[in-house]
A = this chain, B = another copy of it.
Amino acid sequence: MGENLPGDAVENGKKSPRTPKHWELKERLAELLRVVSPGGSLPGERALASEFGVSRTTVRKALAELTAEGRLTRVHGSGTFAGEGKLTQRLQLSSYTEDMRSHGRRPTSSLLDARIGAADPELAALLGIRSGDDVLRLRRLRRADGEPMAIETSRLPLARFPGLDRYVGDGSLYGVLYQHYGVELGHAEETIETALATPAEAALLGNEAGALMLLLSRHSFDTEGRPVEWVRSVYRGDRYKFVATLVSPRPSEQSRRA
């Protein structure tokens, strides 16, 4: 991970951009990191500062970037350690549970809360209901091997699934939808973007506020094209990687442009 476009540094003909110290330090630390096995510890911030002859602030800036990239783990009061690498999540309508299992991890999921509220106009449009109609909001914490990985917030139209709030638990939502309402999922549209962790998310995920996250929204429809749920999931950016397998569109399209 982290290909560095070797060779051609940066051809900005005129002024040398004067590489910041914290970047140079980051590279030296990355080098150091290559000989530390995952989980191994690094010297403290103060030690690094005097070791490299820079201020602690500069050290922290370098460490912060490495942490954001998932190459470091920092534990308050304990130390700084080499990172573990990323999990991947296949980008398709498969479930979190299936995915984790196929990676040999033990997935668990706990329901944080389930509450009923009124849909605002935007949400109503997404769920195909009227503004003000009841919506069930579910928040789940997803874990892999006991470690918090993602927070998932689903919203479903209660009118279509009366009593749904009584059926949901830590188990499978899609299972409940199928067994009690006969609903099967058809297609979905997902978007993926970057985000930073809010303090609440950070607290649940064992993260720091402001950490790099992947924000995934999913708009799911049943096999008849009716909207079923709208989900926003926040994954730890230092832990996750999404995978999609794609098939080609009509070949005629391809040859035109790229």
The answer to whether A4 touches B198, judged by C-beta atoms less than 8 angstroms apart, is yes
Check: A78 CB closer than 8 A to any chain B CB.
no
Per-residue interface assignment for chain A, residues 64 to 95, with 1 indicating a CB less than 8 Å from any chain B CB and 0 otherwise: 01001100000000000000001010011111
A8 at interface by CB-CB < 8 Å: yes
Interface pair A257/B92, CB less than 8 Å apart: no
> Judging by beta carbons under 8 Å apart, are B251 and A184 in contact?
yes
Q: Is A104 an interface residue (CB 8 A)?
A: no
A255: B residues at CB distance < 8 A: 174-175, 178-179, 184
Contact with B along A186-226 (1 / 0, CB 8 A): 11111111111011110110000110111000000001000
Whether the Cβ atoms of B241 and A192 lie closer than 8 Å is: yes
Q: Does A189 contact B245, Cβ atoms closer than 8 Å?
A: yes
Contact with B along A118-135 (1 / 0, CB 8 A): 000000000000000000
Of listed A95, A184, A188, A244, residue having the most chain B CB within 10 A: A244
A172-B258 in contact given A184-B251, A198-B4, A246-B187 (Cβ < 8 Å): yes
Q: Do the beta carbons of B246 and A193 come within 8 Å of each other?
A: no
A242 touches which of B172, B193, B210, B237 (Cβ 8 Å): B193
What 10 pairs between A and B have smallest CB-CB spacing? A174-B258, A194-B237, A172-B258, A178-B255, A193-B241, A10-B203, A97-B257, A95-B258, A192-B242, A190-B244
Q: Are B192 and A8 in contact (CB under 8 A)?
A: no
What mask results when residues 89 to 107 of chain A are scored 1 for a CB within 8 Å of chain B, else 0?
0011111111000000000
Q: Which residues of B have CB within 8 Å of A194? A: 68-69, 194, 212-214, 237-238
Provide the bound-state CA to CA distance between A94 and B253, in Å.
8
Partner among B174, B193, B209, B254 whose Cβ is within 8 Å of the Cβ of A254: B174
The reply to whether A193 and B97 contact each other, CB–CB distance below 8 Å, is no
The answer to whether A193 touches B96, judged by C-beta atoms less than 8 angstroms apart, is no
In the complex the two chains form, is B17's CB within 8 Å of A113's CB?
no
